[in-house]
Structures are given as C-alpha cells and as structure tokens.
Amino acid sequence: MKGCSLVVKSRFSTLPFIMVELLIIKPSSLGDIIHALQVATSLKSQLKGLRISWISREVFAPIVEASDVVDQVYIFERNGGTKGFLRMMKEVRRTKFDYVFDMQGLLRTGLMISRTRSDFKVGRSDSREMSEMFYDEKVPLPESGRRSHALDILLQFCPVFKVKPELRGALKFKSKDYELKFEGHDDVVKPIVIFPDSRRAEKKWGAFRQLSKRLLASPKKRRVVWVGNKFVTSRGVASSRFLNLTGKTDIDDLPSLIQQASWVIANDSGPMHLAAAMGVNTIGIFGPTDPALYGPYANKTCHTEVIQAAAGNLKLLQAKVVYDRFMKAEKRLEH
C-alpha cells in the first residue's frame, strides 16, 4: 500500500529554464483555499519555472482564478455526480504533472489524485477516509503535530521542493476593482469592513449591528461596510457612512473590498483569513473553534487579534467588549 512513509524525499531540480508542473488539489473551503494559496505563493516566490494548476469547487474557483500564482484551474462540480467527476478528470489527465499535492486529505480528493498522471503524488499525514492509500509520500506534521495551525500544516509541503516551510511573497490577485460609494462623502477615509456571516451557525456572532452603531457614533466619523455572499439584515443601522453590501458582491470582489479597508472585523471565516493574508489589520471573533489552530495567521505587515467568547458561546460576547478591544488595538497602532 502507498502512503506508508512520513518523510518526503524531493526529486525537484533547481536547474534554470526547466518548467515544473504542479497540481494542487484543494477544492474547499474558502479559508483552507486561502491558506493553500499562501503556500503556492511561497513556492512560486522561491522557485523558478514552477507552473501551478488547481482543482477547486465551482463556488470558490473565481478567487483561485484571480490569484496571480495559479496558471490553470479545473472546476470540481460537487453536485455533478460521477459524470461530472469523470469529465473533470479527463481534462486533468491531459497534462502529465511532475508533482500532485492533495492538500485536502479526504476520500474524494484521494480519488482525484489517484486519477492524475504523475510520478509523484504527495498527501497529508493527517489525511482521513483512507485517502493515504493513493499517495506515494506523505508530508510530516509540524513539531506541534495535530495541534498546529492549519496554515503551518500546509506549509509542510514546501520541503518537497527543498525550500523552507515559511511564508514568502505577498498574496496578490488580478485586478478587479469594486468602487465603494458613500452618499455625500467625498473625503478619502478607509472604511472598517465587517463580515457578519459565517458558514456555521455556532460561529456566527449576533451583535454586529450593535458594534456597527458604536463604530459609527465615534467622533472619528468612521465608515463601516458589511460584506458577505448572503444577505444579513442591518435594520436599525442608519448612517450615510454605512453600506450593507451583503448579498450584493461576488467572491472575487473580496480582495478589492478588503484592500480598501483600514480594518476587517469578522467571524471565524474565510474572509478573515483572506484579510490577514493580504496584510490588512484583522480582528477575528471566535466561539467554539480554537483560534490557536484556526485564527488569523500572524502577519508582520499587519495587526491580527482574536476575541474569543467565554465558554465558546458567542451569545455571551457583548458588542461593548469587541468595541473596546478594537479601540485599544487601533490606539496601539496609532502610536
């Protein structure tokens, strides 16, 4: 059976002008994809002649396609059934890859890697659902093992190419500008961008309206923008310095919106990870999940902070607590 070794011996050559084909399998979710894009950015910044292809779910494909380090995207239709899967894999098999990385580590991605044309198929040591049977090698976990941050686990793919498991280079996206228009305000003030939604109900804080009211009432005349793919009601938040864009933006609008922000405040979610990866000051609000494993990854170019609810229950976290923490963080950066 394949996948018995935990030590990867790289066969990568650093000879100039040699094109190396890498396929990354990371269909979902958004936060995990952002982490994987950071690893891809690190690889491309250290290696010449690396061409990266990617398998992504259709819902996340636009942001993968917008990344300036991904050269080809294959669309995985999750509800496409067997025919959809085979159709995608037929397209993937047109290319012989030097390396394939399964960064997801589930049965469906194991089946994907099993169908690729490659002599070196690499997966995670913490893979599940017997996906490891399809790997030639598995990358080791970091020193902290399964208690490592999600991004640190993915960075262990870097030594396959004999480069250090660390972030290099800035995460960038191809230009798609989203213009923010505040009625009656021509001055250039970077807004606070808030993501009030989350994929799971237990990770969704319910006091963003109260927080937004406090931010808008500040003497600093702040601007506040809500963003998210699903509509979230902002009833009671009335100001010409407030925009509720929830349900009105596409996933590939996120980089432009985040880049315009002075701060991003978000639930434990993909946009939180994207903001930190792009070097924007980020506050993540956490309930039951462990921020040591899934919090915004420390970035030297910005301030990242976590606020976790008592006992992991977001219903116990008051808007005043979040507002006060934000004010202290903002003040520290000003000095």
Q: pLDDT category, 8, cuts 50, 70, 90?
A: very low
Closest CA to 258 of 231, 237, 227, 285: 227
- At 55-93, the pLDDT tens digits run 999 999 999 999 999 999 999 999 999 999 999 999 999
The rounded distance, in Å, linking the Cα atoms of 102 and 96 is 16
**The pair of three-digit structure tokens given for residue 67, joined into one six-digit string:** 């990344």
Q: Does the pLDDT at position 2 exceed 70?
A: no
Q: Does the pLDDT at position 195 exceed 80?
A: yes
- pTM of the predicted protein model: 0.92
Residue 12 makes CB contacts below 8 A (sequence gap 6+) with 20, 47, 99, 160, 161, 162
Q: Does the pLDDT at position 246 exceed 80?
A: yes
Residue-level pLDDT at 11: 46
Residue-level pLDDT at 300: 83
* Structural domains present in the chain: 20-161 (3.40.50.2000), 192-334 (3.40.50.2000)
Closest CA to 172 of 301, 334, 312: 301
Q: Does the pLDDT at position 312 exceed 50?
A: yes
DSSP, collapsed to helix, strand or coil, labels residue 17 as coil
Q: Does the pLDDT at position 4 exceed 70?
A: no
